[in-house]
Amino acid sequence: MTLASLSSSPRRLATVGLVAWLVAACAVPTNAPTPSPTSMPTIPPAGPAYTLGPTPGDCPTSAPAPMAAGSTATVTMTTNFGTIVIKADGSLGANAAGAFTALARCGYYNNVVFHRVAPKFVIQAGDGQYARLPNYDPDKWGQGGPSWTIPDDKVTTKYVRGTVAMARKGGQDNSGSSQFFIVLDDSAQTSLGASTANNYAIIGTVTSGMDVVDKIALVPVGGDTGDVPLQVVVITGTTVTTP
């Protein structure tokens, strides 16, 4: 699954191109064809040290229940670059927030890498099938996830800096599951919110740790698509609390 409006390189692409870019992995896709994932034989060991988290527990085998409107949950996500705190909000995207929270609670995101970094646009992670250390598959990462998908939520607000949203496969409706992206800049609304873009359900907002997100956005990138992180950026653990 990939984020459609994202660009595969640091430079901004046309709206349609950006949207297509997101589709390439499990993020937001668009109408244009998306490039194949870039093969990265090895990942340089540069960057902050990390210790892998525990193996995921008993995660959902079918689509989790939607989060009720008015309900929220705090997801604290630890990475080797620091901690990111996300407020999932059922009023913004009931299905997306419910799925994201359920997967965070069972440890699904443990040891999953951020497989796509588009400076000034988004960072993307959540492929627990092909992008989990130590046994990851760079030829496929960005294409995996759980066996289930969730219905699309209506987007009722803009994609601004700090927005966390659900990625979708290609141009398919109701194809979101585990992959998510964090918006780096308000300007992302131009492509993500365009009429030609797909509906990327909004999970919630980063309430603390955007400095960490910004650090991740500065890692060197490369590959044929120009958006493959060249050093390890990994989620080592998540905890979920509710009011």
Mean pLDDT of the chain: 85
Average of pLDDT values for 175-185? 97
In three state form, how does the secondary structure of 62-121 look? Answer: CCCCCCCCCCEEEEEEEECCEEEEEEEECCCCHHHHHHHHHHHHCCCCCCEECCEEECCC
Average of pLDDT values for 191-212? 93
Q: Global pTM? A: 0.85
Q: How high is the pLDDT of residue 26? A: 52
Sheet arrangement for strand 122-125: 112-113, 234-241, 72-79, 82-89, 202-208, 163-166, 180-183, 122-125, 116-118
d(CA 230, CA 235): 16
Domains and CATH numbers, the chain: 15-38+46-241 (2.40.100.10)
Q: How high is the pLDDT of residue 47? A: 78
pLDDT of 158 over the 50 cut: yes
Q: How high is the pLDDT of residue 71? A: 98
Q: How high is the pLDDT of residue 44? A: 55
pLDDT digits (tens, 9 = 90+) for 4-34: 433 223 333 333 333 333 433 454 433 233 3
pLDDT digits (tens, 9 = 90+) for 70-116: 999 999 999 999 999 999 999 999 999 999 999 999 999 999 999 99
